[in-house]
Structure 1
Amino acid sequence: MIDIDANKWKEECGVFGIYSREEDVAMMTYLGLYALQHRGQESAGIAITDGAWMDVTRGMGLVNEVFRHQLPHMDNQYIAIGHVRYSTTGSSLLANTQPLIVNYSGGKISLAHNGNLTNATAIRKRLEEEGTIFQTSIDTEVFVNLIARSRKAAVEEKIIDSLGQIEGAYCLTIMTEDKLIGVRDPQGFRPLCIGKMGDTWVISSESCALDVVGAEFVRDVEPGEMIVIDDNGLRSYQFAEKQKRASCIFEYIYFARPDSVIDGQSVHDARFMMGRVLARESGFKGDIVISVPDSGTTAATGFAYESGIQFTEGLIKNRYIGRTFIQPTQQKRDTAVRLKLNAIRSVVEGKSIIMVDDSIVRGTTSGKIVKMLRNAGAKEIHMCISSPPIGYPCYYGIDTSIRKELIAATKSVEEIREFIGADSLHFLSIEGLKQCVPKLNCDDMCYACFNSSYPVDLKQEHTADSDKYVFEQRKKDK
């Protein structure tokens, strides 16, 4: 068996927040994080407040593992925020789990972050030189320190003052003693939406979590918008001038759950259309269409629909193995390649197969899947990828390889085909990909991992190969 998840790009995290005088906010956040588990499997945490005190429960592992024994609890709790994490800055350690809670002159504040700051190193260095003490090696801690140091009066003003110093990708859920606050960066890299049920307000990375807790989708948080929720309802602040939007196209290719709707575009519909366009572009013919489950399945059904070739299950994923063994290092990825996938010999033997997957990052896992199918008797294997070749790292909240590890950075499509051992290989074109999100302005998306057109300027130190562990590396260098 093969671990198909170990060679995928990883989203940094998912965030959830709730303000309610009626609901058990800790339980609702627990359910919301369950729905967002796909966005991060390293750690999880929930912070709550009753208006006077704050408490947080955090731990390593999946949501059900962290909260197996109990949820955080206090009488009259009415605000909660939650977080699931996959690290892109800082090691996978308990000290780096979120939400963070700090006490400062203005009171208490708790914060959870999805994204990646492109100028965090410079800000942190400046703050350290001014005497600030950092307890973690994650860029998220930069936010709380900037907020705490702001000389503005109201907490909303402190947050806006801090955001003016930040560059990069971020969606935030922030909790004070009496407010729930949501923030989305000016480019809208990462998704964030608002839901409501009665007098209860919910903020979530994806709409699928709203469905789970029974909240009705209200709208997406706009790029450059901060929303503030308290007993008076919801208020909106535009904290940044309108900038060119750059929402992450990979949310629709792989990261988001298919049942989510982001910025008005159904993720399922986008992936189904990717399969249809793949069928038109590739012209591949075969006996059956199969997917690399689960992320390739929706596109595979679209390919089958467009081509008229039957879709069937040719690969089975073992869904009873937890993901806590997956660690964000190449060495650990290489030790976990025999775990989650197996071929159905009776389906693939003697067949010409069209296999659909969402992406090829390093190529090692794809090669192992092709070899496994050949060992099961497949006659031909034609591989279709529902994204263009990934030739450049992402610096906006995705755990990506350094460029030299990306197979498309050093090999042509034909060389990749030869490396993985497929009979033929086709990647979806960028123009084809743009056709698959008709509800969006396709020019308002970020395609930097395909064409290196980065929408936010990158600091030199941010593009260093050791960037993920940059703050730990700096400690070693001292």
Structure 2
Amino acid sequence: MLTTNPFDDDKLREECGIFGIWGAETASAVVALGLHALQHRGQEAAGITSWDGHQFHTHRAMGHVAGNFDRDDVIRSLPGKVACGHVRYSTTGETALRNVQPLFAELSSGGFSIAHNGNISNAMKLRRDLVRRGSIFQSTSDTETIIHLVATSAYRSLLDKFIDALKQVEGAYSLICMTPEGMIVCRDPLGIRPLVMGRVGDAYIFASETVALDVVGATFIRQVEPGELIIVSDKGLRSIRPFANVRPRPCVFEHVYFSRPDSIVDGSSVYSVRKAIGAQLAIESPADADLVIPVPDSGVPAAIGYAQQSGIPFELGIIRSHYVGRTFIQPGDQVRHLGVKLKHNANKALIDGRRIILIDDSIVRGTTSLKIVQMMRDAGAREVHMRIASPPTRHSCFYGVDTPERAKLLAAQMTIGQMSDYINADSLAFVSVDGMYKALGEDFRDEANPQYCDACFTGDYPTHLTDQEEVAPADQLSLLGERERASL
């Protein structure tokens, strides 16, 4: 199979999006709409679980929300006024239906459903210990570890068991859980992964991004605070904070790439922040050129900001078709090479003979940038200057972002000059770490107390990475799914 979007092949992938609602007629239909708005956060699989007051109902499927949850028979099979859903791009666990969320289990207290955005950085160690104690896992997902920790907790109430479980995990998580007693929603103490709360009528809604609230006509109330746990039941809504207070460090890449530009993250418009990053990039790394051209679609806001700050005209030099599927069968090399133009094509009449500045959000392996620069040169560009609206990605993420191992990150292996030569650009520059923080409204990055999780740029990880530091390679192999083993 050939991916027909050559510019998305080399991006960091957000692992998933979650959406939950309490107290709405046909709750599952509302969840399906919310998941449509979060489709960009995970395109491998989707699932919805509902609670009708007596029993749980689940439908999970590989592929997009559309085609799986836009059918009346599927929605009718998910009755009830309470439901939660999940879109997935796997970072732990093989690509298989057994790993599609929400995960569900029957505990001593009744049914328990969980949807997770993030990654548990000590899941392998916890899983190894649980298996030795007799736990039987049904998936290779790190999320299932939380279910087993709840099930085996010595505390009596379900809420106390849940809190006990979370106090044993490291890493990043935003969770929506459903039980017969109510819906439990929480965010990790550092707030690495996002989660917001809204309301439509008498129903409460929780989602990874505000855009999902907009789509279902809900009013944004506030973000779920880092370390906060919210319980919604027939008795109403209450909030508790069972964790020690720590300085939050939300993921900065939500602003750079992951979130939709029409979302509000941590009180800031994603679109405005990306424009501001582009403007800062123009201040830090100007270039004498004729046109500013975005790499669609994620590079557009930053390119607008760069053009406005520099005074160089903004133009669409790369045209994207929105009517091409992700893949097609490749009958031969010739078609493979032609296929990359199905989704993106150079606007040759505009580019020919011009000096251009290409704006993209990041460089990961460098393969994408190499293709883009060559596309511009083939279209007749006289000079190609590449500007990146994030600092160099030099470190892997262990908090739920699908990042290549460090040896495959171009910026970890080369200087910026070497990277420029590798992608065949006339010049290459990245926004500085402090410049990115300025675009976010900060004066600079506080080295002693960083305001965001920016480990992919700085290597400053905000939590322990137990599985990376302590688990022996043989143990890792025994716990990984088939896809992970094949990649080692």
1:347 deviation in Å? 1.2
Amino acid at match of 1:407: L
For 2:484 and 2:216, the matched residues in 1 are separated by 42
Residues 1:110 and 2:118 aligned together:
no
* Worse-superposed segment, 78-87 or 64-73: 64-73
- Check conservation: 1:290, 1:355, Cα contact below 8 A: yes
How big is each residue's C-alpha offset from its partner over 1:166-188, in whole Å with a ceiling of 9 and x where there is no partner?
Answer: 10011101011241211100111
- 1:214 aligns to what SS in structure 2? coil
For 1:471 and 1:357, locate their aligned partners in 2 and report how far apart those are by CA, in whole Å: 33
State the shift of 1:334 in Å: 11
Deviations 1:71-99 (A, max 9, x none): 34358601100000000001111111000
2:283 aligned partner, one-letter code: R
The amino acid of 1:258's aligned partner reads P
Cα deviation 1:439-477 (Å, max 9, x = unaligned): 799532011111111111112546999979952279979
**1:343 counterpart = 2:346:** yes
2:62 & 2:79 partners in 1: Cα distance? 27
Contact 1:288 1:354 (8 Å CA) reproduced? yes
- Structure 2 residue 131 is the aligned partner of structure 1 residue 142: no
Alignment partner for residue 236 of structure 1, among 225, 229, 239?
239
User: Displacement, 1:414?
Assistant: 0.4
Match of 1:305 in 2: 308
Q: Quick one: distance in 1 between partners of 2:230 and 2:444?
A: 24
**In the alignment, does 2:199 pair up with 1:180?**
no
| CA RMSD, Structure 1 to Structure 2 (Å) | 2.5
Q: Could you say which residue in structure 1 is the equivalent of 2:54?
A: 52
- Tell me the alpha carbon deviations over residues 332-376 of structure 1, each in whole angstroms, 9 at most, x when there is no partner: x99985653211111111111111000000001100110011101
Matches within 5 A, 1:217-256: 217-256=220-259
Aligned residue for 2:98?
A: 95
Name the count of aligned residue pairs.
470
Corresponding residue to 2:481 among 455, 467, 472: 472
The 1-side partners of 2:154 and 2:394 are apart by: 43
**8 A Cα contact 1:225 1:239, kept in partner:** yes
Mark the CA change 1:475 to 1:450 in structure 2 (over 3 Å): closer, same or farther: closer
Q: Look up the equivalent residue of 1:373 and give its one-letter code.
A: M
Task: Using the TM superposition, give the Cα deviation of residue 2 of structure 1 relative to its aligned residue in structure 2, in angstroms.
Answer: 5.2
Contact 1:118 1:462 in 2 (8 A): no
CA shift in 2, pair 1:474/1:198, >3 Å: closer
> 1:263–1:440: 8 Å Cα contact kept in structure 2?
no
Moved more, 306-315 or 149-158: 149-158
Find 1:275's aligned residue among 267, 273, 278.
278
> Is the partner of 1:81 in helix, strand or coil?
strand
Where 1:367 maps in the other structure, the secondary structure is helix
Tell me if structure 2 keeps the 8 A contact 1:26–1:71. Answer: no
TM-score (norm 1): 0.93
Return the offset for 1:243. Answer: 1.2
Q: Which of 1, 11, 16 is residue 14 of structure 2 equivalent to?
A: 11
**Alpha-carbon distance in 2 for matches of 1:325, 1:32:** 28
TM-score, normalised to structure 2's length? 0.91
Is the 1:90–1:468 Cα contact (8 Å) retained in structure 2? Answer: no
**Structure 1 residue matching 2:66: 3-state secondary structure:** helix
What pairs up with 1:160-239 in 2 under 5 angstroms? 160-239=163-242
Structure 2 CA distance for partners of 1:377 and 1:250, relative to 1, 3 Å: same
Corresponding position of 2:64: 62
Contact 1:206 1:262 in 2 (8 A): yes
Deviations 1:257-313 (A, max 9, x none): 011111111111110100100110111121111100110000000011111111111
Q: Tell me, yes or no, if the aligned pair for 2:25 and 2:80 is still in contact at 8 Å.
A: no
Q: Which amino acid aligns with 1:447?
A: D
Distance 1:10 1:200, change over 3 A: same
Shift of 1:109: 0.8
Corresponding residue for residue 263 of structure 1: 266
Whether the 8 Å CA contact 1:121–1:461 is kept in 2: the answer is: no
Secondary structure at the aligned position of 1:132 is classed as coil
Q: Residue 330 of structure 1 aligns with which residue? A: none
* Mean Cα deviation higher: 153-162 or 39-48: 153-162
Identity %: 46
Matched, 1:41 2:50: no
Deviation at 1:316, TM superposition (A): 1.3
User: Residues 81-125 of structure 1, C-alpha deviation per residue, up to 9 Å, x if partnerless?
Assistant: 000000000111111100011111100010010111111011100
CA spacing shift, 1:324–1:115, aligned 2, 3 Å:
farther
Any gaps of 5 or more consecutive residues in structure 1? 327-332
SS at 2:386's partner residue?
strand
1:100 and 1:427 map into 2 onto residues whose CA distance is 40
1:254 partner SS? helix
Letter of the 1:50 counterpart: D
Contact 1:31/1:213 (8 A) holds in 2: yes
* Cα pair distance change 1:135/1:324, threshold 3 Å: farther
Q: Give structure 2 stretches of 5+ with no counterpart.
A: 330-335
Distance 2:265 2:443 in 1: 10
Report whether the alignment pairs 1:450 with 2:457.
yes
Partner Cα separation in structure 2 for residue 131 and residue 334 of structure 1? 52
The SS at the match of 2:297 is coil
Q: Secondary structure at the match of 2:325?
A: coil
Deviations 1:367-403 (Å, cap 9, x if unpaired)?
0110011101111111110000011100011000000
* Secondary structure, aligned partner of 1:46: strand
- Tell me the amino acid that sits aligned with residue 415 of structure 1: Q
* C-alpha distance in structure 1 between counterparts of 2:444 and 2:92, whole Å: 30
Amino acid at match of 1:17: G
Cα separation, 2, equivalents of 1:75 and 1:257: 28
Shift of the 348–462 alpha-carbon distance from structure 1 to 2, 3 Å rule, reads: farther
Offset at 1:155?
2.0
Correspondence for 2:333: none
Opposite residue 141 of structure 1, the aligned amino acid is E
> C-alpha separation between the residues in 2 aligned to 1:101 and 1:81?
11
Cα shift at 1:65: 2.4
Letter in 2 for 1:123: L
Q: Secondary structure at the match of 2:260?
A: coil
Measured in 2, the distance between the counterparts of 1:400 and 1:289 equals 28
From 429, 437, 459, the counterpart of 2:466: 459
Query: Following the alignment from structure 1 to structure 2, what is the Cα–Cα distance between the partners of residues 287 and 189?
Result: 40
Q: Is the 8 A contact 2:57 2:79 kept in 1?
A: no
1:366-381 matched pairs, under 5 angstroms:
366-381=369-384
Map of 1:329 onto structure 2 = none
Kept in 2: contact 1:196–1:216 (CA 8 A) = yes
> In structure 1, what residue type is equivalent to 2:457?
F
State the secondary structure of the residue aligned to 1:65. Answer: coil
- Does the C-alpha gap of structure 1 residues 277 and 39 become closer, same or farther in structure 2, counting only changes over 3 Å? same
Are residues 1:287 and 2:290 paired? yes
